Structure 1
Amino acid sequence: MSVEMLFSKTAGRHERLLKRQFENPLFGDVKIEPFDIQDARRRDSEEVEHFINEFRDLVQQVTELKPSADVELVLKLKESLDKTYEMSAGLAGDQAEIREMIKRLLGMMMQSMWKAVGNDAMGISKLEMEEQARQAHFALMEYPFIADLLSPDNIINEAMMVPSLLSEKTEVAVLAMQLFEPEQQQLIYQQAVELLKGLDDSHERVINANQRLQDIASVMASANQQPG
């Protein structure tokens, strides 16, 4: 059995990092052995176990929330649910059911907040903007690379960022680039150009990376054309 066949279809963030590097010249000459995959899978499994325990505690706090609860407590729990959704997006296995549960819990809390603002136009506008922003953010979390990129654990460090970005598909790379400021985009582009110099242009990974470089350039050109 080849090493490549050992990777999980629903890998967690540590195993995904190895999958990106496997036989990928963008990361240099990285040797990945079966025991590396086993170790990454163990770490991912421990993350899931830790997450589930914390999630149970959070669900209990939310479900025990009284209608008369302090606004600060409600906001704190809502923020915790948002962060929990982000965490679940990067975990190993199929966590879709948990993410749906988080959405339902957030929906319940938002209903209370809608009742609290009543007919206040400013309050209504603020809640509408918050819900739109959350939906957009959660949509981004459906892409494992973006979930890893935004993870507070910094699983994709500075050295890994550019080769990882160039290893993604067009749609993901374009969305990821839009998360950066123009100055950061320019730096990423320059680093990508330097990284690709001297690599074998006939290698499939390098061919795809050069295409991603063009995608990055298109994102930057589009941003420059927008009115300031």
Structure 2
Amino acid sequence: MDLPFNHRPGRRERHLRRRHMNALFAWPPEEVPPEQLLEAQRLDHEELEAFQASFRQLVERAADLPPDAGSDPVLELKADLERHYDQASGLPEDQTEAKQALAKLIEVIMRTLLRHVGDDPTAQQELADEAAAREIHFRLLEQPLVADLLHPESPIRPQDLTPSLLSADDPEFAAACEVFDGPQLAVIVDEAEALHRRLSERGADVGDLRPRLEHLRQVLADAGGPGHSH
């Protein structure tokens, strides 16, 4: 059945599209029920509408912030801007303009905070480290799988994590691997190898999994995790 998936889906629909007729999630592969897809699309659209209203209010709040505002309201605004950026990364449709606006407002807030800390080298370094970490975080969020994984209400259940990672395209796969530490990667590698064996025994075509398994083992080795000899 050809389901009416959107070209730019939200996080719920995106995960249904990952699962649809995907042997890594179920064998034999299962179709996503049409009514489940329609419900996911409805919820994603409602989230988009709520975000748009909240985003407008947030921009107004930033514009109304007085130049002499203390650190507390400035930090609170920055946290809300960062939260909205994270949310925008998982929404349906093209959120490039909203994300660019949020990033610019965060830069303004960071300049304000730099003025607050004055010549304190420790505080300056902390802000610089924070900015560098945010840049990496935003880069990873450009990949939909990462945005879905990091969402507080991620549609990706624990048992869906390894199939989702193995199903991802190359940029998503590489970015998602950066999210996990050594112990987490070790679990993923074990699950991926078990999944590969299980599907092979059932006669599924799993040839495409071998490069991914090798990549995962290499990422795990680079992270200092336990070696795997297969």
TM-score (norm 1): 0.90
Residue equivalent to 1:87:
87
Note the residue ranges of structure 2 that are not aligned, 5 or more in a row. 226-230
Note the residue ranges of structure 1 that are not aligned, 5 or more in a row. none
Residue equivalent to 1:18:
16
**What per-residue deviation string (whole Å, max 9, x for no partner) do you get for residues 62-86 of structure 1?**
1111122121111111011111100
Range with greater deviation from structure 2 (118-127 or 89-98): 118-127
Q: How far apart, in 2, do the equivalents of 1:181 and 1:163 lie? A: 18
Contact 1:14 1:155 in 2 (8 A): yes
Contact 2:71 2:116 in 1 (8 A): no
Range with greater deviation from structure 2 (24-33 or 131-140): 24-33
Over the residues paired in the alignment, what is the CA RMSD in angstroms? Answer: 1.8
Query: Map of 1:190-201 to 2, 5 A cutoff?
Result: 190-200=190-200
Query: Map of 1:58-77 to 2, 5 A cutoff?
Result: 58-77=58-77
Q: How far apart, in 2, do the equivalents of 1:136 and 1:161 lie? A: 22
The one-letter code sitting in structure 2 at the alignment partner of 1:7 is F
Query: What is the deviation of 1:97?
Result: 0.5
**What per-residue deviation string (whole Å, max 9, x for no partner) do you get for residues 45-66 of structure 1?**
0110111112122222211111
Which secondary structure does the structure 1 equivalent of 2:223 belong to? helix
Q: How far apart, in 1, do the equivalents of 2:174 and 2:133 lie? A: 19
Residue equivalent to 2:228:
none
Q: How far apart, in 1, do the equivalents of 2:97 and 2:178 lie? A: 28
Contact 1:167 1:208 in 2 (8 A): no
Q: How far apart, in 2, do the equivalents of 1:140 and 1:178 lie? A: 8
The one-letter code sitting in structure 2 at the alignment partner of 1:3 is D
Same amino acid, percent of matched pairs: 33
Query: What is the deviation of 1:202?
Result: 6.0
The one-letter code sitting in structure 1 at the alignment partner of 2:145 is F
Query: What is the deviation of 1:219?
Result: 0.2
The one-letter code sitting in structure 1 at the alignment partner of 2:16 is L
Q: How far apart, in 2, do the equivalents of 1:105 and 1:198 lie? A: 49
Is the counterpart of residue 213 in structure 1 residue 213 in structure 2? yes
Query: What is the deviation of 1:12?
Result: 0.7
TM-score (norm 2): 0.89
The one-letter code sitting in structure 1 at the alignment partner of 2:121 is A
Residue equivalent to 2:163:
163
The one-letter code sitting in structure 2 at the alignment partner of 1:23 is M
Which secondary structure does the structure 2 equivalent of 1:93 belong to? coil
Contact 2:144 2:172 in 1 (8 A): no
Residue equivalent to 1:101:
101
Contact 2:143 2:175 in 1 (8 A): no
